[in-house]
Amino acid sequence: MLSDDTAIVLFSGGQDSATCLAWALDRFAHVETLGFAYGQRHAIELECRDTLRDAMMRQNPQWRERLGPDHTLDLSVLGRISETALTREAAIEMNENGLPSTFVPGRNLLFLSFAATLGVRRNARHIVTGVCETDYSGYPDCRDDTIKALQVALNLGMETRFVLHTPLMWLDKAETWRLAERIGGDGLVALINRESHSCYMGDRAHLHDWGYGCGTCPACELRAKGWASYVSA
Binding residues: 11-21, 199, 214, 217, 220
CA atoms within 13 A on the CB side of 116: 22
Known binding residues for ATP: 11-21
From CA 222, how far away is CA 128, in angstroms rounded? 22
Q: In which element (H, E) is residue 36 found?
A: strand 30-37
Residue 163: strand, helix, or coil: strand
DSSP collapsed to 3 states, 61-74 = HHHHHHEEEEEEEE
Residue list, annotated binding site for Zn(2+): 199, 214, 217, 220
Pinpoint the alpha helices (H) of 35-172.
44-59, 61-66, 76-81, 107-122, 144-158
* Residue among 77, 72, 27 at smallest CA distance from 50: 72
105 secondary structure, DSSP code: T
